[in-house]
Chain A
Amino acid sequence: MNQTIAEKIFSRVAGRTISAGTEAIFPPDLITAYDYPGYIDKYETQMVEELGITSVKHPERFVLFIDHLYPAGTAKAQQIHQITRRFAKRYGFKLHEGDGIGHQVISEKGYVKPGMFVTHFDGHISTIGALGALGIGIRNSMIEAFATEEVSLVVPGSVRINLEGALQRGVTSRDVFHWIVREIGPDGCRQAVIEYGGKGLQSLEMDERFTLCNLAMFLGGISAVMETDEQTDQYLERTTGKRHPPVFADPGARYEREVTINLSDVEPVLVAPPSPANTISISDALGTRIDSGYIGSCASGRIKDFQQALEILEGKHVAEYFRLNAVPTTTRIQAQMSELGLTPKLINAGAQVHVSTCDFCIGQMGALSEGERSVSTGTLNIPGRMGSNRAEIFTASPYTIAATAINGKITDPRTML
């Protein structure tokens, strides 16, 4: 049988050949979650009080992260973290606190291996697709995963996106993703796993691949997964200490749709408020006054992102009154930024370099007030996402944010490279 990568993964988990459209119950290889009011505190109440479950069979399959409301700015936030620590201890779950954003830490710490099936509340777990693994956000059926160590779902179909060519200077994988949204529509991969492959994929570095997979939900995707190659092998050798079999789809696998994107066609784009569906050309917004910039989040905020920003920022300074926040995705990336000398360069250019946290993406830190406008590599540009409901967020690439930060208005990064 000729299978997509997702079908291969679900078949392996189910222990039988399984194809798209089948409804079945699957035990995830990893079950992962972060805390936030109404998440782990609720799971604990549901597990202990409503379902009376005092232990799980495979605690080693669970990994929890404290990455939101971190570091705790209030006693109430610290109390949420206390509940998470208690929950982890009670059931014997591994807990990471202060290591950075879970969607990336989970790969960095070697939990993720190619071919794995991982569940989370949050759909941005699709980030791990860069390693040939399938991460699916199951929203409030997370309690199903905690309580039964299994999840019931209909095996999704796949949309194949073949990447060709290579990126032009000043263009990033962030632009590629939003370019694809404009090309095939925000529902272009609805209810499907996005399977990336092709020679063009091999031209992208791992940091760029994580970004591309992270944003899958804004194409309507359930998740994203990539073919593995030599670069993936090298990354996994560092994180897991060994090599793994390659991940690829069978020739003749059935897709709901096949799309070819030539990376060399892609130009810088912005996502205009108020929806992640609104990709616009940078030329449509040039000169728009901007108050602040944010380079970070689980989507961006890796070494490559800061290197790109510094191609423009180094030796210059952000505009007067412009606030630029640089937030590494993980604490390890924060250390690498120091080792590579990126941190002092960012600081000298007027950026504030912060500890790894989700909080800038959700307006808990560096919040926007009414009437302000921001350029952001955060995941989302909906009203209220980064503070006031009456602030506007344009999502953009690190290059575009750096160029915009220098001028205080939206600027085409290609004019500054």
Chain B
Amino acid sequence: MLPKIQGRAAWVFQEPNFDIDLIVGVDHMKTQDVNILKSVCMTSFDPEFPDKVRAGDVIIGGKNFGYGHPHYPSCRALRALGINAIIAESFSPGFYRGESSNGYPLIECPGITSAVERWQTISFNWETEQISVEETGDVLQCQRVPLKSKDLILTGGIIGYLKKVRLEKEG
């Protein structure tokens, strides 16, 4: 079953073309220790971010989120803190391809940055592909989530996907 996406907006990035590397900072592009990544995650935006977030929270992004030359530690840090999805106006294709292959739910939702404020609660309906904002009752239609992206989420990433969806089918 696809994971429930219902949680608070732990941060709203209004800016377009956000460089995902800034989430842990360029000094941590080669950091492997997930505890270090968690401790620095988003602290340049809110020094208490790692303490304020809880499992199930989401990040809201602007247009072309993930632009530039995205590296993986930032999303490792977000996931380790329990951020279980990123919902953005749109994603940069390289970032989308990379993180969706890791099985991370990425939802494109035009209008999301003006509909949600920090700490408001959203929920995503996988059937209708709509996002509801609890506090305002607003409902936003998202872009279609590709079948492959759903399979990658269900199978936990590219290796699980290949084993369960692609290689098994080929016999």
| Chain A residues at the B interface, C-beta cutoff of 8 Å | 23, 46, 50-51, 123, 137-141, 143-144, 147-148, 150, 152-154, 156, 185-187, 190-191, 217, 220-222, 274-277, 380, 382-385, 389
Contact = CB atoms under 8 A, between A and B. Distances in A.
Contact of B26 (A138, A186, A382): A382
A382 B21 contact: yes
Interface in B99-148: 101-102, 146-148
B18 to A, nearest CB: 10
A50 B159 contact: yes
Contacts of A143: 158-159, 162
Given A191-B90, A389-B26, A275 B19 contact: yes
B90 to A, nearest CB: 6
A220 B162 contact: no
Contacts of B159: 46, 50-51, 143
A187 B162 contact: no
Contacts of B64: 186-187, 190, 220
A150 B101 CA distance: 15
Contact of A154 (B16, B67, B146): B146
Residue picked from B21, B26, B69, B161, most chain A C-beta under 10 Å:
B69
Contacts, number: 96
What are the 8 A-B residue pairs with the smallest beta carbon separation, nearest first? A187-B64, A139-B98, A383-B26, A139-B97, A152-B148, A140-B101, A141-B101, A384-B26
A186 B67 contact: yes
B82 interface: no
Contacts of A277: 17, 67-68
Interface in B39-94: 63-64, 67-69, 90, 92-94
Interface of B: 16-17, 19, 21, 26-27, 29, 63-64, 67-69, 90, 92-94, 96-98, 101-102, 146-148, 158-159, 161-163, 166-167, 170
11 contacts: A138-B97, A140-B158, A147-B162, A148-B167, A154-B146, A186-B17, A186-B64, A190-B63, A277-B67, A383-B26, A389-B27
A382 B97 contact: no
A221 B19 CA distance: 16
B34 to A, nearest CB: 16
A389 B162 CA distance: 37
A137 B94 contact: yes
Given A123-B94, A276-B68, A187 B166 contact: no
B92 A139 contact: no
Given A51-B167, A389-B26, A382 B158 contact: no
B26 A220 contact: no
Nearest to B100: A141
A275 B68 contact: yes
Nearest to B63: A187
A140 B98 contact: yes
Given A137-B94, A143-B162, A152-B148, 19 more contacts: A23-B148, A46-B159, A50-B163, A51-B159, A51-B163, A139-B97, A140-B101, A148-B167, A152-B166, A156-B93, A185-B16, A186-B67, A187-B64, A190-B64, A190-B92, A220-B67, A382-B26, A384-B29, A389-B26
